[in-house]
Structure formats: C-alpha cells, structure tokens
Structure 1
C-alpha cells in the first residue's frame, strides 16, 4: 500500500496534481464552512484557479484560460458586486453548533479514508490517449454541432439570471 503512494509521488506531475486537488477540495470545503460572504467568494476563487491548474495538467489550455477568465475573474467579481449591492446586517452570527462542525470533519475524514482505500485497491488500466492537434478547434466543433442546444440554453439561463439580478437590485433601491 505504501509502495503505491511512493510511486504516485515520484512523478512531479502527480505531485502538482495532488497540490491542485488539495487546493480545489480545500477551497470548496472552506466555502461551505465560512460564514462571511467575502471569505466564501475568495474560497470559490481558489477552487476555480485550482481547477484551471488541473486543466493545464490535462493539456486543455483553452479550458484553463476559460476557467480563469470566466469563473475566477468574472463570476468572482460578479459575486463581490452582488454582495456590495445588497444590504447585510452589520453583525453576522455563526448559526452552526459545535457538534455540526465535528460531524463535518468526521464526514470529511471518512470520505477521504474511503477514497484512499478504493484508490489503493483499484488497478487502473493503462490506455493510450491520442490528443487532437488543436484542442480549441475540436472544442468549437463539438460545441457548435453536438452540444449546440445545451450551449444556447445556458446562454438563455445566464441572460434570465442577469435580468433577475437587475430586477432585485432595483426593488431594493425603492
């Protein structure tokens, strides 16, 4: 079992993957654990940037740049503007009880223990992957042929969410 761990960490790419994965998972856990909204946004931004690093390791540079520009940049800034435009009580209080935090950490440790055991006992087949010459071209072909309806539905959903945010902001001014 420990030989598998030593083999895993002997490669630099695996070590970098492990660091990015820890930051992504840690950011997500901190996002649901924090009580201050700005801290939650920073945690989400760390998760988004870590996912972009994982995309770089997978040689999906277009997805990595899209992740940084759209999610880590745009969505995080949009969330901060949303926080600034809404009213909040001056005093934020922690609504959780101590036993909820203890159950959270027990659940996290249990999940990681189960995942560690399963990954150690599983033998993954080695397959040859042939990457396309131009990732961006292939993504564009798939996006505008096979996945054009989900793409258009997502743009419609984002437009409706944006209009809803404007309506909510205008109601709050009055």
Structure 2
C-alpha cells in the first residue's frame, strides 16, 4: 500500500485510465454499447506503461534502501518487449496480403452483413500472427487475425484464419470465429 502512495500522479493516472478503459472495453461488449471498442487495446497499452512507472518507482525505493532490483528490471524489459512486438504487429498486419484477403472476405460475407448491417470499417488495432514460408515448392503459410468489424447495426470481434498453399497464389479464408 505504501508503494502505491509513493507513485507519482502521472503513473497513478495512467494506471487508473488504463484499468478504466479495459473495464469499459469488456463492459461495452457485454451490454452491447457500440462505441470505442478499441478502448480495450488502448487500456492494455496504458496499463503496461503504468506498470513500467510502478516498477521504476520500486527501483527508486529499493535503490535508496540498497536492495537488489533485478526482478523489477527484468519486468520492465519484458513489458517493453511485449509493447514493441505488439506495436510492430499492429503496424505490419494491415499491410499484408493475408489481412487484405480476410478483410475482403468479411466485407463480402452475407451472413456477417445480416448480423452487423453494412460493414463500414474495421477496428484500428488488429492483432494476431502470420507465418509464411518460401521454398522450392513456392510460397505457403497461415495467419490468424483478430479484428473488430464495425457495421451499421453492431460491432463484433472476429478471429479469422487464412491459409496460402504453394499451388495457389492467393490467401484463402479457412475459418471464422
């Protein structure tokens, strides 16, 4: 409890806003509020920055007490690694052929249009993973893309699986959850 009292206002504010945005992100999905669904992703980023501030504060306190700070430094390194990887993926994924194939499929999916209305846009922060291999047989791979689909009536979080075979030059949607 003393550690929290010793945090500076900025770190406390970032932690509180991060937690509030995460809570709002889950609640808006639960009660069907279709506004700012990206709050969950933004909240997690702010929470991680707040945790870095918290750990830096612990390092400052422990240093004045001549105590070891290895675990705090490892924690900061781990959080920074997660943030860097997440940022890279969020920037790279929208420019991939797999994402374009998934997006095109979702825009043309009649079942999704019936459920959500006319699809107007996609969430700002897609996540997931893409694996591609090139060998003598050609290029093949698979991708799992998580994104928010925004329609006239509703929003929906969707996980879409796309694959590319060596004998087919196009990414193909395999499954939607």
* TM class, shorter-length: 0.3 to 0.5
Q: Quick check: which one's helix share is greater?
A: 1
When the two structures are superposed, what TM-score results if normalisation uses the length of structure 2?
A: 0.38
Higher strand share: 2
